Structure 1
Amino acid sequence: MRIEVLVDVKTQLGEGPLWDVEEERLYWIDSAGMSVFRCTADGREVRSWDVPQPIGSMALRKSGGAVVSLARGFHFLDFKTGEVDLIHDPEPDKPDNRLNDGKVDKRGRFVVGSMDLKEAGKNASLYRLDPDLSVHKLENEIIVSNGPCWSPNGETFYFADSWSGEIWAYKYDLETGSVSNRRVFAKLDTSTGGAADGSTVDSEGFVWNAQVYDGKLVRYAPDGSIDRVVQMPVRRATSVMFGGPKLDVLYVTSMATPYQPQLPRDPIERGSLFAIYDLGVKGLPESRFAG
């Protein structure tokens, strides 16, 4: 295994690496810097798009372009023009919230959670944006939504409220997009300040979670037990996604801004996009939004 800095862009809050299997390009975002980035598998041809609000997540669309969760709602992003168009704001009455992490299920629905910007109260929720652009609430009483992803068959949904110290698993109904039977999938060791951030599921059904502020990537077996721990060169590793032509490279985002000033500062690599090679594991293609 080797870890390399793929692109040194110093994102304030890097998040959401997303591999496009069709064009063989990697996307990621700077949530606080209000930008979307794209590069080749080996970090060349870097390109970026500005968005008008803090961005929580993005997904590619089957029809082209992307759907993004900005602070004030779901939007479409046109890569050709850079234009951003509002679809729906599910929380117009909650100015202290913003939309955060999200991914697309196997039927092309975009599932996104919100977060309390003060990270203090259970004021956020989990939403599903359907291909017909209708929005449905799936869960509430959340502080910071993070790490949505699905088992390979799409029938188990993984999700975390970062400050709960737990990763949850739900039964996911592929026909309706509803969640049920929440259970604790894994408990984190929060004694060193770590919190569950972005996640992905590999081809063997194991869950990879970036544990921000602790600098660890943890691979959980389907039964929730810890299979492997990868120590990153930075404490503020934020999210993970497999990509590359063979889907065997693990891309990792990080943050440059010390949102938790009481923790030690990261070295010069902070905010970089990392690539981890030779893990002996492959990922799964990400679904596109069908709307």
Structure 2
Amino acid sequence: MPITISPVVDVKTSLGENPLWDIEQQRLYFIDSADGRIFRTTADGYRVETWDVREMIGSMALRSGGETAVVALQSGIYSFDFKKDQLELLHAPEADTPTNRLNDGKADSRGRFVFGSMDTREAEGAGKLYRLDPDMSLTTLDEGIVCSNGPCWSPDERTFYFTDSWSGEIRAYDYEPETGSVSRRRTFVSVDERDGGLADGMTVDAEGFLWEAHVFAGKLNRYAPDGTLERSINMPVRKVTSVMFGGPNLDTLFVTSMGRSPKPQFPEDGPLRGAVFAVEGLGVRGLPAYRFGA
């Protein structure tokens, strides 16, 4: 079966991020980080719903037991009720650092939300990596980060992957599923940036291979568990931002993109800029997204 790439939803997100397929609802969620919006749609993009969270949003994870999510906004971690369109502040870990905002995050199988922060100027290592437990306790896992991106786990959850996009590397940590602790940080991949690309959002498939959205270069890279580049796929736009498997069989790779260049030196894109794409025919399946508090 040949690989096909097609736009699923074209709402011209300024900064599309965080594709999240919920297996219970059979719905795709994604966000516009810059414009502060959450979207929900069917696998074919036929029906699109939108919520405005009224400030920049870095990531989200659905919560167990209802129509709510935990969301990483510019000012802190909130609980968001989709039906009431209501936010409730849970933590403001960086209220004393106004040049920072919260960014990428995901839930693990024990219902913890692991997320990071970033320097909005993307210049200083002022960001941190956090873990929010279901009891709402907050733990710092790492620090000295410019731009947190791509948290994800190996299928057995013994390895945690993460990138500081400006570091030139994808990192691996030993992860303890029972406690959510990390240790033994190391370089998993030294990212090839000769094409002008940086590591952005990431996910792991059922075979344990890591998929990376290579932003500004218009590529998706797949790495073997030993860090070897297994394949690279060219996308219709250069500013691809994040990836997540979904669809009824978890074999469609959904890819978000950026509709607006953050700085003048970064490339512009054509009419499909800011769209969400479906990549099919890859021959692999993904892992289900977990819910916070499960």
TM bucket (normalised to shorter chain) is: over 0.9
Match of residue 285 from structure 1? 288
How far is the alpha carbon of 1:175 from its aligned partner? 1.4
**Aligned amino acid, residue 197 of structure 1:** D
Match of residue 55 from structure 1? 57
Match of residue 118 from structure 2? 115
Match of residue 232 from structure 2? 229
Q: Map of 1:11-22 to 2, 5 A cutoff? A: 11-22=13-24
Match of residue 265 from structure 2? 262
CA distance in structure 2 between the partners assigned to 1:83 and 1:205 by the alignment: 37
Tell me if the contact between 2:119 and 2:125 (Cα under 8 Å) persists in the aligned partners.
yes
Question: What SS class does the counterpart of residue 143 from structure 2 fall into?
Answer: strand
Q: Map of 1:212-227 to 2, 5 A cutoff? A: 212-227=215-230
1:81 partnered with 2:84: yes
How far is the alpha carbon of 1:192 from its aligned partner? 2.3
**Aligned amino acid, residue 49 of structure 1:** W
Residues 62-87 of structure 1 show CA distances to partners (whole Å, capped at 9, x for unaligned) of: 12211100001100110111101110
Question: What SS class does the counterpart of residue 166 from structure 2 fall into?
Answer: helix
Q: Map of 1:1-291 to 2, 5 A cutoff? A: 1-64=3-66, 65-290=68-293
Question: What SS class does the counterpart of residue 157 from structure 1 fall into?
Answer: strand
CA distance in structure 2 between the partners assigned to 1:72 and 1:263 by the alignment: 27
TM-score, length-normalised on structure 1? 0.99
CA distance in structure 1 between the partners assigned to 2:286 and 2:27 by the alignment: 15
Identify unmatched segments of 5+ residues in structure 1. Answer: none
CA distance in structure 1 between the partners assigned to 2:115 and 2:10 by the alignment: 28
Residues 169-217 of structure 1 show CA distances to partners (whole Å, capped at 9, x for unaligned) of: 0000111111000111011111222111000000000000001111111
**Aligned amino acid, residue 10 of structure 1:** K
Question: What SS class does the counterpart of residue 193 from structure 2 fall into?
Answer: coil
How far is the alpha carbon of 1:262 from its aligned partner? 1.5
CA distance in structure 2 between the partners assigned to 1:42 and 1:103 by the alignment: 23
How far is the alpha carbon of 1:260 from its aligned partner? 2.8
Question: What SS class does the counterpart of residue 156 from structure 2 fall into?
Answer: coil
> Percent identity of the aligned residues?
59
**Aligned amino acid, residue 239 of structure 2:** R
Question: What SS class does the counterpart of residue 163 from structure 1 fall into?
Answer: helix
TM-score, length-normalised on structure 2? 0.98
Tell me if the contact between 2:216 and 2:267 (Cα under 8 Å) persists in the aligned partners.
no
**Aligned amino acid, residue 128 of structure 2:** S
- What is the root-mean-square deviation in Å for CA atoms of aligned residues? 0.8
Residues 38-79 of structure 1 show CA distances to partners (whole Å, capped at 9, x for unaligned) of: 000111110010002100000011122111000011001101
How far is the alpha carbon of 1:125 from its aligned partner? 0.3
Moved over 3 A (4+): none
Residues 219-259 of structure 1 show CA distances to partners (whole Å, capped at 9, x for unaligned) of: 00000000110111111000000000000000000011111
Question: What SS class does the counterpart of residue 171 from structure 1 fall into?
Answer: strand
